[in-house]
Each structure stands twice: as C-alpha cells, then as structure tokens.
C-alpha cells in the first residue's frame, strides 16, 4: 500500500510528496517512513526537480507524529530505535539539496511538527493547530524538536511551547515565526504551490547553493559563515545558467534555466 505518494508537476520542476494515511492522521509508521526515504532518495537523484512540497492526505492532519498504536508492546530499545528512525528520516528531509515547503493542511503534533521544522518554509491553513506535546506524555521531542525549534523561533518561545506541551493555533504560530505563510483565502497547498512555482523560476544551481550557504553558515560563526557563502557563490560562476540569466536580463525576457 502507498503510504506516501509523489507526483511531479510537469513544466514547473516541482515534486509533491503526500503522506497518505488519513485514517491515522498521517502518523509516521515504519512503513510510511520506509516509503518516504525511498522518495527522498529518488528526488535527490532527479536534477529536473527544483523544489518539493510535503503535505498530508485529507483535510484534518498534516501529520500527527509518531504512530503510537504501532509503538504499543515495543521494548524500551525498540522505542528508542523507532524514534531514531523518525529523526534520521526528518534529517534526510532537512538535508535535501533543493528547497522544501511544508504545506500544513491540518494538525501537526510531535514528530509531525518536527518534520515541518526540517523543511525550509512552512505554510499553514489558518485552521491548523500544531505543537510539540511530548512532555504531556512524560517524554521529550526526540526527532530534532528541541534543536530546530529554538533556532527558528528563539529560546524562550521554544521552551514555552515544549514545557507547556499545548497546541497553538496557526495564527499564533505565524506571529511567533513558526510558520512563514498563513493561508486564509486559499488552502495551504495552493499557497505552497504558488511559492514553489515562484522558487522554481530561479536558477536551480543557485537555489541549491543558497540553501547550502544558509544551512551550513547558520551553524558557524560569522567569519566561517562568510567563507562558506563565498565557496557556494563560486559554484554558480562557471554555470551556463548564470550566463543565461545575464542574457535574459539584457534581452528583457524570462530566463530559461537548465541546471547546468
């Protein structure tokens, strides 16, 4: 059974990944994670894809996090292994070379929000709810939440959300910078698709290098970060796309980039 679906939007260089377990609020079962990793690997080797969107099937849930029903009966070691697998999969999303957008079409709790935190941009329906609720279950976020959340919204806000373990509304999430776009007139997927189309109009090599410069630089001091930026910039210089961008600007037309 396909617990994760992928489709490519022809002509726009966009891959749409859909978590497809709506009856289980798109929870992260082992089978779903296996399929998601296969799709991530497929996208990573496809140079025709410039941007990806991750969303959930149905209208109620983006992803409710770990599959707690599947976890019943597991030994302590098996639980630790299961959490590590979720964390490795989420890290694989974060490490995709192309920009990744989370279209949060419903609730995103625990591992579901951790998955969204690994994406580059988060778009949420105005009715969505999200939170890292693990401490209410006497555990802590174990798939990157304690690390990615404070880097995104600041130490105090992150501690507040994790300690309280209470879901927040999308509007609140937008106000504290947890999501970058709030979908009001359209659903989250429609807004995410529009963003993805605009991203994919730009140079694909430049997009990859910009992501690398940001993600690697943010983990370093400013001097090292600037050196990383310089190295990534140099990667764009010998490309045909850079020359195409200059020609298109000169001729006042839209550039046609080929990722070369």
Domain ranges of the chain: 4-200, 204-251
Query: What is the DSSP secondary structure assignment for residue 46, as one 8-state letter?
Result: -
* CA-to-CA dists, residue 205 to 43, 92, 121, 213, angstroms: 15, 19, 19, 12
Which candidate in 24, 27, 61, 66 is catalytic?
A: 66
- Is residue 111 annotated as part of the catalytic site, yes or no? yes
Give, for all 260 residues of the chain, the pLDDT tens digit.
Answer: 678 888 887 678 999 999 999 999 999 999 999 999 999 999 999 999 999 999 999 889 999 998 888 888 888 999 999 999 999 999 999 999 999 999 999 999 999 999 999 999 999 999 999 999 999 999 999 999 999 999 999 999 999 999 999 999 999 999 999 999 999 988 999 999 999 999 999 999 999 999 999 999 999 999 999 999 999 999 999 999 999 888 888 888 899 898 89
Helix (H, G, I), strand (E, B) or coil at 218: coil
User: Which two three-digit tokens encode residue 32?
Assistant: 């779903």
Which candidate in 56, 65, 134, 183 is catalytic?
A: 134
- Is residue 114 annotated as part of the catalytic site, yes or no? yes
Which candidate in 56, 65, 87, 111 is catalytic?
A: 111
Pick the CATH number of 4-200 from 3.90.226.10, 2.160.10.10, 3.40.190.10, 3.30.300.10: 3.90.226.10
Helix (H, G, I), strand (E, B) or coil at 148: helix
Contact 213, 229 (CB under 8 A): yes
User: Which two three-digit tokens encode residue 207?
Assistant: 């997009």
- Is residue 134 annotated as part of the catalytic site, yes or no? yes
Q: Kindly report the pTM of this predicted structure.
A: 0.93
Domain 204-251, CATH class in plain words: mainly alpha
Instruction: Identify any residues that bridge with 15 across adjacent strands, giving them in sequence order.
Output: 8, 52
- Is residue 66 annotated as part of the catalytic site, yes or no? yes
Which candidate in 61, 108, 110, 114 is catalytic?
A: 114
């Amino acid at each position: 059974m396909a617990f994760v679906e992928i489709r490519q939007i022809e002509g726009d260089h966009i891959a749409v990944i859909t978590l497809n377990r709506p009856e289980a609020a798109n929870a992260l079962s082992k089978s779903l994670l296996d399929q998601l990793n296969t799709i991530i690997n497929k996208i990573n080797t496809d140079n025709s894809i410039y941007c990806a969107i991750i969303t959930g099937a149905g209208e109620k849930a983006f992803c409710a996090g770990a599959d707690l029903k599947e976890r019943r009966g597991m030994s302590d070691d098996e639980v630790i292994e299961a959490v590590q697998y979720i964390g490795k999969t989420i890290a694989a999303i974060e490490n995709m070379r192309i920009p990744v957008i989370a279209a949060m079409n419903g609730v995103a709790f625990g591992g579901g929000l951790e998955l969204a935190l690994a994406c580059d941009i988060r778009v949420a329906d105005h009715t969505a709810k999200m939170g890292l609720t693990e401490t209410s279950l006497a555990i802590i976020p174990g798939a990157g939440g304690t690390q990615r959340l404070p880097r995104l919204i600041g130490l105090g806000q992150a501690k507040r959300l994790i300690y309280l373990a209470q879901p927040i509304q999308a509007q609140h999430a937008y106000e504290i910078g947890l999501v970058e776009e709030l979908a009001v007139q359209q659903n989250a997927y429609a807004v995410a698709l529009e963003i993805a189309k605009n991203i994919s109009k730009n140079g694909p090599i430049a997009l990859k290098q910009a992501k690398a410069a940001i993600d690697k630089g943010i983990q370093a001091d400013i001097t090292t970060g600037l050196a990383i930026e310089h190295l990534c910039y140099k990667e764009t210089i010998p490309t045909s796309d850079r020359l195409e961008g200059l020609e298109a600007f000169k001729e006042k037309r839209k550039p046609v980039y080929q990722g070369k």
